[in-house]
Chains A and B, each alone.
Chain A
């Protein structure tokens, strides 16, 4: 009986200690996580990627040749990438086609980035991709060319009084 009582008191005690420790919760819209790099990138010459968040893609129009390798890589995964005709006034390649990505289907595996041999497709830290309609999730080549601004302010800090998102 005494064992039971001390056990329950010990259990309660270990919880009470946490009143004095720091808050670990990330207050999401006010605080945003810091990421390691500028997004997941891939170096075709060595065949190894560069660590970073797999977020929204970024397309470099001056590198893209319209070879469709990203679209072929996506065929067995999500079928999110479609090759579309680019308007005349934009930077053109010979075939004048460039990838358009449907984020309603994309699973953010980054295999399209691994497939690109021309340093044209990278991923960025942008992860807030909500939209009011399904059409709003389809990003055209012009939209993909824009480098996103991502707020990053907090990372996990471990102190004497517990971990916290500082």
Chain B
């Protein structure tokens, strides 16, 4: 009888020492998800993450919309990282329909996706700061994000959900005089985020709270299938921009940061190093970009796939590898669309990391996994 109930609702054996605590789904420290923790005093004995509160059925919705009208809703799972969330889908549809993308469009896409990665990480960092009670680290990233949001607004005309990538290129060319403005603001942004080191990353209070908490070893990181910053913080140098370069990444110099410690501190520092690397990539792309040319291939209004075909593409998003599997049966809509998201794969590590930790370390360990509830639930 009790086995049929969902987790958390099942009646459990009462133990005098162990207490079950529900963190979320309305708790500010969990996002739109619940973490069921069992604690013995201040120490976590077991932990059961319970996602699924923001399931929107993105994959099913995609089966009823054509390849173009799928664009606005597929970027919704991660609105801060909307260019990267859309990237694998667009690459997949291009391969499915056999479209060749102009060179300039590829560079514009790389610039947009790197800007978006920074915007996402700044938002993530702001929340990480406030989780640890460091309100300066909430205010600064939330403010400095504006520099890059302003750039994205100039490119795409929207502040968060850009709907800028389409199969065959990007929606519109860069505005006049953009390279100069972009370089100026990215340089200033880089200068600003370097200041975070003194106030946050070299701060002894942060180090004492996050070092040696939630240690994920290299073997466990590979075994559990984690991706992105979590994997790279455990000493595995795996970045899709280097390993499987898409668009023009092979022409750019990408040095993805890697740390060996695998603790909460390393996992929180990798995204920050990622942002510095992103600034570097943006500057390279601005330099190498063809100065003129088309940015979009003209498509038929309702493009169709060529018979029974399937394609799997993945990109490095702000949270790790983000894959999109599209199956086409020759109609205007995809037959099936599957998203493989980094957030969900990183969440699997949470029960292993929290075992034996103090309850006060739970928010820092949880958020250092670079987890975005809405993306994981899709």
Task: List the interface of chain A (C-beta within 8 A of B).
Answer: 3-4, 7-8, 10-11, 13-15, 24-26, 33, 35-37, 39-40, 46-54, 69, 73, 75-78, 107-111, 114-115, 123, 155-156, 158, 163
Contacts and interface: CB of A to CB of B under 8 A. Distances in A.
Contacts of A123: 157
B279 to A, nearest CB: 15
* Listed residue (B64, B136, B146, B171) with the most chain A CB atoms within 10 angstroms of its CB: B171
Nearest to A75: B69
A10 B184 CA distance: 28
A11 B202 contact: yes
B296 interface: yes
Given A48-B296, A111-B72, A8 B204 contact: yes
A35 B153 CA distance: 8
B143 interface: yes
A111 B296 contact: no
Contacts, number: 116
Contacts of A77: 65, 69, 72-73
A13 B198 contact: yes
B175 A11 contact: no
B119 interface: no
Interface of B: 64-66, 68-73, 136, 143-144, 146-147, 150, 153-158, 161, 163, 171-176, 184-185, 188, 195, 198-200, 202-205, 207, 294-299, 301
Nearest to A4: B204
B71 A111 contact: yes
B198 A51 contact: no
Most chain B CB within a 10 A radius of its CB, from A10, A26, A76:
A76
Contacts of A76: 64-66, 69-70
A39 B156 CA distance: 10
Contact of B163 (A3, A47, A111): A111
Contacts of B299: 47
Nearest to B158: A54
Given A10-B202, A25-B143, A110-B157, A50 B172 contact: yes
